[in-house]
Structure 1
Amino acid sequence: MRVRDFSRPTTLNSDRLFGQVAQKLAVAIINGTFKAGELLPNEDALKSEISVSRTAYREAVKVLTAKGLVESRPKSGTRVAPRDGWNLLDPDVLSWHFRADPNETFIRDLFELRCFIEPSAAKLAALRRTPADLARIEAGYRGMIDNPPYAEATIRADIAFHEAIFVAAGNSTLQCLASVVSAAIQWSLLLKSADDKNCFVESLVDHERVLDAIIRRDGDLAAARMSALVIDSLNSTLALLPGAMSANTAKIA
C-alpha cells in the first residue's frame, strides 16, 4: 500500500535526522524486521540505508523509548519491547503503523476504537454545542465541499470537522482522544485516490447527516449517524487493502 507524501500526521520533524532515524527503526519494529527481545541495531548497522550520526541515533532511541517501542536495561542493551508495551494511541506510533503497510487487523482495531469514541462525542456535541462550536463544525464541512476530493485542504477540513465536534462535546478528557482520531482519519484519507469520487460523495453525505443531527440538537441521532460514518469509512479503507473483503461485508462487530 503506497501512501502519498504531501502530508504526514506526526509530531516529529521529518527534516531532522533523528526523526528520519526514529521512523526507519519504528517501521522496522512494527513490520517485524526487528522482533521483540532483539537488540536494536546500532548506528553503524544503519549507515548502509540512511545517513546517521551517533547523536541522531541516540535522540531517535530516546523517542522510541518514550513511546514504548524499545527498552534499555543495564548490561542488556537496547532491545525491542513487546507490542503490549507500545503506546498505540500516540500519533507517531499510528503514523508508523501506516508507513509499515497496515494490515486488516490493525485497521479494524483502529476504527473499532473510533466507533466507541466518536458517536459519544457527537451525541454530547449535539446537546452542548454553542453557536461558535456549530460555526466551526459547519466550516469544516464547507471546506470538504469547496475543495477537490482528498486534496490536502480537503483532508484538513475533514479533520477540522471531527476536531470541532470533540471541542463541542465539552469534555476535556474525551477531547484528549481527538489527536488519535485525527491521525486515523488523516492516514486513512491519504490512502485514497482523488479519482474515487463516488466514495468521496458518500463521505460528504455522511458528514452532512451528522452535521444536521447536531444542528437539531438530537444527540441520539448524531451518535447513530456518526457510527454509520465511521463504519462507511472503515469499509472504504479496507477495500484498498490487497485481498480485502468486499465493502458490503466489512463490518465492525
Structure 2
Amino acid sequence: MTPYARRGVHGQTVEALARRVLSGELPEGSTLDLVALQSELDVSLTALRESLKVLAAKGMVDARQKRGTFVRSRSDWNLLDADVLRWQFESDRTADADSALLRNLAEVRGIIEPAAVRLAAERRTEDDLAALDTAVDAMGQDGSDAAHAVEADLAFHRALLAATHNELLERMEMVIESGLAYRDRIVHSSPHSQDPVPAHRAVLDAVRDRDPRAAEAAMRALLDQAGRDLDRIGGSDTNTEGPTGQ
C-alpha cells in the first residue's frame, strides 16, 4: 500500500493529521479547530475536510452537530487498518509502546500464520511455489541491503497467505506486513544479522511436500526464533547470537 504522503497534498494532509493524533498532539476527545489547522497545514478547507474523512473512515475522528470534529477514543480506532498500524510505528512513541504493539502483532501472527501455512501446504499450486522460491532466493542474495531483505521477507509471507487461496486470509497480509516491516527494519539493520534463509526454507520445503503438520511446526519455529531475535536486540536476552529476519 502506498503511504498517503506519496499521494499529493491530500495524502500529505492525511499523514500530518494522523501523526498529530498518534503523538497525542491532538489528544483523544479534543475538538479540532479546523480554521487553525487549515492555516498551520497551509491547505484549503476542502482538502482538510476530505483528509478528515479518511481518518473518520478509520475510526480516528468523528463530527457531531454542536460539538464539531473531534478525536475519538483509541478503543474506536480501526487498529487492524494497515495505515493505522503503520502510523503507530512511525509516530513519536515510547519504546514500551512500540514493544507492546510488536508483542500484540506477534501474538496475531502466532495465531494466523501457523494455521494459514497448513492450508498453504494442502492447496499450494506451482505458481505459489514459484513465488515462494523467488522470495527465498532474494533473501539469500549476497550484498543485499536492509531494504531488500525486508521486501524479500514480506514477499515470502505474502506468498504464503496467497497460497491458502482464502481471500480473507490473503487480506491479513495488510495487518501482518505493517508490524513485520517495522520489525524487519530493526533486525536487518543489526550488524550481526544471521542468514534468514534456513528457517524460511524449512517452511517452504514442508509446503512443497504438502505436509501440513511439518509446515505448521516449521512456521512456529520461525516465529519463536523471530521473537527471540527481537528480544536480543531490545537487550532483554543475553544470548550473543545475532538476529535472524523472520
Shorter chain as normaliser: what TM range?
0.7 to 0.9
- 1:97 maps to what in 2? 88
Give the Cα separation in 2 of the matches to 1:224 and 1:133: 20
Amino acid at match of 1:151: A
The aligned runs of 1:118-137 (5 Å cut-off) are: 118-137=113-132
Which of 197, 205, 208 is the aligned partner of 1:212?
205
RMSD after superposition: 2.4
Answer yes or no: is the 8 Å Cα contact 1:43–1:53 preserved in 2.
Answer: no
1:41-80 CA distance string (max 9 Å, x none):
42524645x4433233112101100111111111111111
Give the Cα separation in 1 of the matches to 2:139 and 2:58: 33
Gaps of 5+ in 1: 1-8, 249-253
Give the Cα separation in 1 of the matches to 2:66 and 2:60: 19
- 2:45 maps to what in 1? 54
> What SS does the aligned partner of 2:222 have?
helix
Give the Cα separation in 1 of the matches to 2:203 and 2:155: 14
Paired residue total:
235
- 1:6 maps to what in 2? none
Answer yes or no: is the 8 Å Cα contact 1:149–1:194 preserved in 2.
Answer: no
Give the Cα separation in 1 of the matches to 2:207 and 2:190: 30
Normalised to the residue count of structure 1, the TM-score between the two structures is 0.82
Matched, 1:38 2:30: yes
Which of 57, 73, 80 is the aligned partner of 2:71?
80
| Identity across matched positions, percent | 34
- 2:10 maps to what in 1? 18
Amino acid at match of 2:210: R
Normalised to the residue count of structure 2, the TM-score between the two structures is 0.84
Answer yes or no: is the 8 Å Cα contact 2:146–2:188 preserved in 1.
Answer: no
Cα deviation, residue 246, structure 1: 2.4
The aligned runs of 1:57-72 (5 Å cut-off) are: 57-72=48-63
Give the Cα separation in 1 of the matches to 2:130 and 2:62: 46
Cα deviation, residue 164, structure 1: 1.1
Query: Larger helix proportion, structure 1 or 2?
Result: 2
> What SS does the aligned partner of 1:169 have?
coil
With over 3 angstroms needed to count, the CA separation of the structure-2 counterparts of 1:41 and 1:21, relative to structure 1, is farther
Answer yes or no: is the 8 Å Cα contact 1:69–1:81 preserved in 2.
Answer: yes
Give the Cα separation in 2 of the matches to 1:162 and 1:208: 12
Gaps of 5+ in 2: 240-246
Answer yes or no: is the 8 Å Cα contact 1:141–1:208 preserved in 2.
Answer: yes
Higher RCO structure, 1 or 2 (CA under 8 Å, sep 6+): 1
Give the Cα separation in 2 of the matches to 1:162 and 1:247: 29
Answer yes or no: is the 8 Å Cα contact 2:121–2:208 preserved in 1.
Answer: yes
Answer yes or no: is the 8 Å Cα contact 1:123–1:220 preserved in 2.
Answer: yes
- 1:164 maps to what in 2? 159
> What SS does the aligned partner of 1:191 have?
helix
